Amino acid sequence: MLFKDQVDFVRQHLKKNRLRVFTTILATTMGCAFLIVLASIGFGLQGSMERGILTDQTVTEIEVYGDPQKKIDVDAIRKMDNVRAVVEKTNAQLSANVKFEERTNSVPVNMTDFDNEEKIGSKLSEGRLPQNSDEIVVGYHFAENLLSKAELKEQEKLYEESAENDTTSTKQAKKLGYKESLVGKTISVKLQDYDNDKAINKELTFKVVGVSEKPAKDWLIKNTILFSHELKGEFYNIYKASVKDSKNIKAEKDMFYPEIKVHATNLEAVKGVIAKLKDKGLSVYSVTEQLDDINVIFLAFKVGLIFVGTIAVLIASIGIFNTMTMAVTERTREIGVMKAIGASPKLIQRLFLMESAWIGILGTAIAIVISYGISFLSNWLLPIIIDMATDSKQFQEADIVFSHIPWQLILVASAISIGVALLSGWRPARKATKIDVIQALRQEL
């Protein structure tokens, strides 16, 4: 039988039992749509979470920790393949007490190799990177924390009020701090040992040449100063000279903690670089590792959802099984005639399998369309509904995707539901091939 005639044959039979076929397709559609929508929640939430992580932090950045007693061979790391740059920042156990005009600010001392910063293309919101050790870069929030005496009092009052009102998100009613650009200004700095409550009396002066970039996360306050790492020795000497009891002097390696960040050339290279760093016996932290963990958890979650959804498809398959069994029973005589005339059992089986496949395919196709509709609606309406219930605007602003349907999910769901349709049509189709011609022809019209 030509394929076109087979299709015609199947279509004719489906038309004859329109209502029965329709309800069976409906059940298949519901099962399959349930499967897709359920699993799409897994994909949607995973995507939202991934995006949250990736936009907050630099993806190609790998933090490296070594044995504190040994110096990490930064040059060796720098020479590794796929490493764009290595930034070695130093956090000193010192704070810098800043004085500028009548304003003061106290910030941790961070040091870095500015040549390297240049190389990795560190961005500033204003100014340029320092070219010698007299020049510094201040954090994005440095200026607004540079307060006069009156402002300090006002800030204290504000804190108290916000503590009473218990509203943590209360913003400063009036922007405090220095409002003009600090670039080109000279500030004076007194160092202070963390363990000491008094600043060291030696006053240093630095020229502000740049202001760092605005941090990615809104809540991150960057109230810092970046000094050149060439000042390490000088700062240590100032500290050493200020300590009276020589027994209490901290060793230099206890005073400065290295913070090494390796920048891989691109996201794909991160994995390889991490592996090589681990081979060197270093501990690493990278967002991508966090992503890997999340991906494993979400994989399990998605498999679970697909499993639950498949149960719905299986329930729908009972409908297909019943419909096809009835179709075979009803058509026993006709199948007998077909076989008598010379239709091979294989052809009979194929015709019935095509019928259940058609139910599966149509049900799945409709389910895909409906699922996209539900997915779209839920992404649009759910945030609005949740925000209405909680009386806020958080969800609408957060750009959270609840449901996402990637093509892989469509593929898996289609395979499952069409596969299940074929499986449930299999036995009725077999039954059709087993029909005895003599018995079938004896049936009354």
Report phi then psi at 159, rounded to 5: -60, -45
* Interaction of residue 64 with other proteins, rule CB under 8 A: no
Piece in contact with other proteins (CB under 8 A), picked from 246-254, 319-327, 343-351, 374-382: 343-351
Q: Which of 16, 71, 123, 214 binds other proteins (CB under 8 A)?
A: 16
> How many amino acids of this chain bind other proteins (CB under 8 A)?
25
Secondary structure element (H or E) that encloses residue 369, with its range: helix 345-390
CA distances from 340 to 335, 433, 437, 438 (A): 8, 12, 6, 9
The tokens for 221 are 């306050």
Per CB under 8 A, the list member of 121, 173, 342, 389 interacting with other proteins is 342
272 binds other proteins (CB under 8 A): no
Instruction: Give the nearest distance from C-beta 356 to other proteins in angstroms.
Output: 19
Supply the minimum distance, in Å, between the C-beta of residue 3 and other proteins: 10
| 326 binding other proteins? (CB under 8 A) | no
Query: Is residue 438 at the binding interface for other proteins, with CB under 8 A as the rule?
Result: yes
Our finding on whether 12 is near other proteins (CB under 8 A) is yes
Buried b (16+ CB within 10 A) or exposed e, 360-383: bbbbbebbbebbbebbeebbeeeb
What is d(CA 96, CA 263) in angstroms, rounded to the nearest whole number? 28
Contact between 33 and other proteins per CB under 8 A: no
Cβ 434 to other proteins, closest distance in Å? 10
The CB-of-436 to other proteins minimum distance in angstroms stands at 8
398 binds other proteins (CB under 8 A): no
Helical H segments across 80-166, by residue range: 114-119, 149-165
Of the candidates 89, 98, 125, 109, the one whose C-alpha atom is nearest the C-alpha of residue 215 is 125
Examine residue 330 and tell whether it contacts other proteins (CB under 8 A).
Answer: no
Which member of 124, 249, 347, 366 binds other proteins (CB under 8 A)?
347
Q: Can residue 20 be called a binding residue for other proteins (CB under 8 A)?
A: no
Interatomic CA distance for residues 89 and 396, integer angstroms: 38
CB of 407 to other proteins, least distance (A): 37
Name the region of 8 (left: φ>0; alpha: ψ -120 to 50; beta: rest): alpha
* Among 47, 215, 272, 345, interactor with other proteins by CB under 8 A: 345
Phi, psi of 40 (to 5 degrees): -65, -25
Question: Quick one: which of 18, 171, 247, 346 contacts other proteins (CB under 8 A)?
Answer: 346
Q: Which is nearer to other proteins, 340 or 398 (by Cβ)?
A: 340
DSSP structure string for 391-420: TSSHHHHHT--S----HHHHHHHHHHHHHH
- Burial class of residue 263 (count of CB atoms within 10 Å of its CB; 0-12, 13-18, 19+): buried
Binding site for other proteins (CB under 8 A): 1-2, 5, 9, 12-13, 16, 333-334, 337-347, 436-438, 441, 445
